[in-house]
Structure 1
Amino acid sequence: MTWNIYIGAELTPLLTATAPDQIPERVTEVFQQFLATNFPLRAKALARQIALKAPDIIGLQEVAKWELIPPNSSKVVYNFLTILLRELRRKGMRYTVAAQNRNLSAALPSSSGNLIRLTDRDVILVRKTRRFKVVRKQEANFKTNVEIDVGGQTIPILRGWSAIDVKVRRGIFRLINTHLEPDSPEVQVAQANELLTGPAAAKRPVILLGDFNSNADGSGTATYGNLTSAGFQDAWTHVGKGNGFTCCQDADLLNAVSHLNRRIDLILFKKRSNWKAVKAAVVGEAQRDRTRTRLWPSDHAGVTAKLKIRNCK
């Protein structure tokens, strides 16, 4: 499974600030939207969908940690990873963190006198099973990243990837999880090329999954075409049914009708002789998947694929 679980707020108010004195009010606006999208409640919906599919390996993006840091007082932490793992355990699903990469981390003052810190992570979860064993992990940030100006302060928007090597029977395959840059095609293509010349260049069978922010119909950036030209097969094009759209609901997650109209969350595999795609599905896109307060589980739908490995050495 791959699923961008959404940091919970649109950061545009911050990115459009033109002076330092605008920052505190913008921080408060963003943080209030994060509270309104209620990740503890959304985590229940996410866990429900995960439990229905019971994937062996999950690649998650935007696994945020928000911290409200008052002066001279204890901070309040909203750790998406801790919250989601707790909800999964309540569903009887036991997952461990196999790898994670820390991306953007920034702290800014709010209008109420608190400091608000946001840390973004991508995480690979592995279901506890005796069928395979993780024998190696890698975690890294991209060398090429966007830098933005927030009220006169330059903040790098770090992104990255994590990978695990998994031993199954007598062979080993590699799974890579990533989240590529949405706002600069040049940076996004460079990040994908780092994957292709780095962890994805392994001679062993490879699965590459994540939020690529590149339209699978070729109408967006060159990234999707570059990945498929490098030999990666798209599980959805083999066995998916329907349009497979995964992006994007409104930032407040309250749009009555689904706004999903692009397929940018992908499960790709390299060395077709080693893999057989059996089935693929989109999750979290239906009205029945919403929370009791009508929040969508995320601004993205998730994608699952069942792959059979063969001739793995």
Structure 2
Amino acid sequence: MDEKIKDCDCEGDNFSSNDDQNDHTRKDSISFMTWNLFIGADLSPLFSTTILEEIPRRVTEVYRQFMATNYFNRVKKIAEQIAEYKPDIIGLQEAAFWQLRQLMDPHFPYVTFDYVEILLNELQEKGIIYETAALNHNISLQLRSSQGNFVNLLDRDTILIRKESGLKVLNKQEANFKANMITQLGGLPFELLRGWSTVDVSFRNRIFRVISTRLEASSLLVNLRQGNELLDGPVNTTLPIILLGDFNVNNEIAGPPTTYGNLLHFGFQDVWKEVGQGEGLTCCQDPDLLNAFSTLSRRIDCILYKNGWKPISAKLIGAEQQDRTQTALWTSDHAGVIAYLEA
């Protein structure tokens, strides 16, 4: 921890700020990004039937949508956005792992789509090296399709750190929530497992904690319980904290208690509310990603901070028409958020 840490390479000249426009070049600033990459398909057809024999047909339907949303195409635009701003630390949600294998021929090569590996390779081709600092495993499905294949799907959240940022990882944790929503898969109980990852990072002989998570969208009660687990677990520290995530609740304090409201009550501040411009809407485009005009209508993806940070600037990414692929796909059903903070 006494090792001298290099200055952060802070870039991103297109940021707007309530401070001076050159504030993002301060040597003590660190850039953070959060982005839900979109798992690639609407999974609800799997959980909307109580007939077990119907599942293979639903698996085929979901996998076809995943192929149509073409991650190999989308990731090039995602990498372009990352390469433009070069955030020091990235929290990704729905960083999926898909795999297709034949039922009858175990020797036939698996077809694998590892969102994280594909993105890292794309960035490396642009001369930017990121390393996986933490990676937690959430929902896992292994189901037979109606076309003679097994389809494996693993949902993950991850934290990436830019190799040349000068940041040093001291410790990591990867965990699942104890409170998760129970749904039905072909009439059988199925747990919608969610989780979080955290790393303690050293920067110029100071230590801070970064957490990346995605909370439950289908149950406000489960969402609230998961938020309480964060408060009782990785958030319960005196270290400076950055909380990156898809919180899946509208960020309003009024009304019944919410995870977002509880986090603010616990002392967190919202980067976008401090230095963001406009509404900062991040969710959601259509599941096929082909809506002609943006349908972002909620701000549920946030960068929250606590214990000594000073926000400098914040920006949405992946939310504009020019961010779409050449085949008119949005890069994700969510926009990302990137921000600079002074340590």
Which TM class, normalised by the smaller chain length? over 0.9
Q: What is the number of equivalent residue pairs in this alignment?
A: 307
Distance in structure 2 (CA, Å) of the matches to 1:130 and 1:29: 42
How far is the alpha carbon of 1:219 from its aligned partner?
7.2
- Amino acid of the residue matched to residue 227 of structure 1? L
Shift of 1:113: 1.5
Which amino acid in the other structure matches residue 45 of structure 2?
Answer: P
The residue that corresponds to 1:242 in the other structure is 278
Distance 2:165 2:38 in 1: 31
Cα distance in 2, alignment partners of residues 156 and 68 from structure 1: 22
Q: Which has the higher contact order (CA 8 A, sep 6+)?
A: 2
User: Is the aligned partner of 1:178 residue 2:213?
Assistant: yes
CA shift at 1:28, angstroms?
0.4
Q: How large is the Cα RMSD of the aligned pairs?
A: 1.2
Unaligned runs of 5+ in 1: none
In the alignment, structure 1 residue 230 sits paired with structure 2 residue 262: no
Structure 2 residue 230 is the aligned partner of structure 1 residue 195:
yes
Contact 2:283–2:334 (CA<8 Å) still a contact in 1? yes
Residue equivalent to 1:267? 303
1:1-313 map, 5 Å: 1-71=33-103, 72=105, 73-129=108-164, 131-218=166-253, 222-271=258-307, 274-309=308-343
SS at match of 1:129: helix
Deviation of residue 130 (structure 1)? 5.4
What is the CA–CA distance in structure 1 between the aligned matches of 2:167 and 2:310, rounded to whole Å? 18
User: What residue identity is the alignment partner of 2:112?
Assistant: V
Letter in 1 for 2:284: C
8 Å CA contact 2:74, 2:331 repeated in 1: yes
TM-score (structure 2 length as normaliser): 0.88
Could you say what secondary structure the match of 2:235 adopts?
Answer: helix
Distance 1:196 1:159 in 2: 16
Matched AA of 2:279: N
Deviation of the 1:218 alpha carbon: 4.2
SS of residue paired to 2:295? coil
Range with greater deviation from structure 2 (23-32 or 126-135): 126-135
Q: CA deviation at 1:153?
A: 2.5
Q: Distance in 2 between matches of 1:81 and 1:128?
A: 15
- 1:150-186 CA distances to partner (integer Å, 9 max, x unpaired)? 1123221111000000111121000000000000111
Point out 4+ residue stretches in structure 1 off by more than 4 angstroms: 218-221
